[in-house]
A = this chain, B = another copy of it.
Amino acid sequence: MERYDLKARRIPDTTIRRLPAYLRALMVTGQERITSEVLGHLAGYTSEQVRKDLAYFGAFGTRGVGYDAGLLADEIRRILQLDHGVRAVVVGAGRLGTALVRHTDETASDVSIAAVVDINPEVIGRVVDHLTVESLDKLEVLISEREIGMGIIAVPPGGAQAVLDRLVASGIRAVLSFVPKALTVTNPDVFVQHIDLTLEMQALAYFVGQSHPSVR
């Protein structure tokens, strides 16, 4: 099996974003070998998409036989750097923030929440699953001490940019933002993924009436 060389080939972000779905599909099936058709079906993509995506890492598959499921899962974990485990800090212990901590604990992924911080004195000290909410003042210390590599922002829009700036200054390069506001980052090494639940719902509204012109 060829090894993927990080420097030699740049994998498109869109491909990277499908890899976790493939990984979960591989873990769901107990098979030793899996075809691109089955993998695509389980992950929710076409077999063509699967083959195209996996071709970026070299020739895993054998025609008519499929992929070695174990090798492929290990390789995806390695590419996503999940083989090292990733620790994240949740900034903002409000309704969404605490739900995220608990949801992540429940789903037992390779990403673990190692700290949760808030600015509100009434919230600091509360226990959320296995963690105690710490003060936002300790953000940099916690990131360093607990070797945190990912930031999850679930604060109100007003304080979000300052939080992002502090995360980036602390060496965080991967950020998941639930803030309903575009945040800016000048460091090209930092990747910020936005999940705006309100926007998702508003965009979906378009499809509510798509096939019902009579309601307009």
Q: Is A1 an interface residue (CB 8 A)?
A: no
A196 to B19, CA, bound (A): 13
* Known contacts A44-B182, A174-B208, A208-B149; A6/B202 CB under 8 A: no
Chain A 196-216 residues near chain B, CB threshold 8 A: 196-213, 215-216
C-alpha gap A196/B95 in the complex (Å): 18
- Is the CB–CB distance between B189 and A210 below 8 Å? yes
Q: Is the Cβ of A203 less than 8 Å from the Cβ of B84?
A: no
Which residues of chain B have C-beta atoms less than 8 A from A175's C-beta?
204
- Decide if A197 touches B103 in the complex (CB within 8 Å): yes
Indicate which residue in B95, B202, B207, B209 contacts A20 across the interface (CB closer than 8 Å).
B202
**Contacts A81-B209, A149-B208 given: A99-B95 contact, CB under 8 Å?**
yes
- How far is the CB of A116 from the nearest CB of chain B, in Å? 14
Interface size on A, residues (CB 8 A): 66
Residue interface mask A84-109, B partner, CB < 8 A = 1? 10101000000110111011101101
The reply on A194 being an interface residue by CB < 8 A is yes
Given A191-B204, A205-B150, A212-B173, verify A95-B102 contact (CB < 8 Å): yes
| A193 contact set on B, CB distance < 8 A | 200, 203-204
Give the distance in Å from the alpha carbon of A118 to the alpha carbon of B86 in the complex: 33
The chain B residue with its CB closest to the CB of A100 is B197
Q: Which residues of A contact B (CB under 8 A)?
A: 6, 16-17, 19-21, 23-24, 42-44, 79-82, 84, 86, 88, 95-96, 98-100, 102-104, 106-107, 109-111, 149-150, 152, 173-176, 180, 182, 189-191, 193-213, 215-216
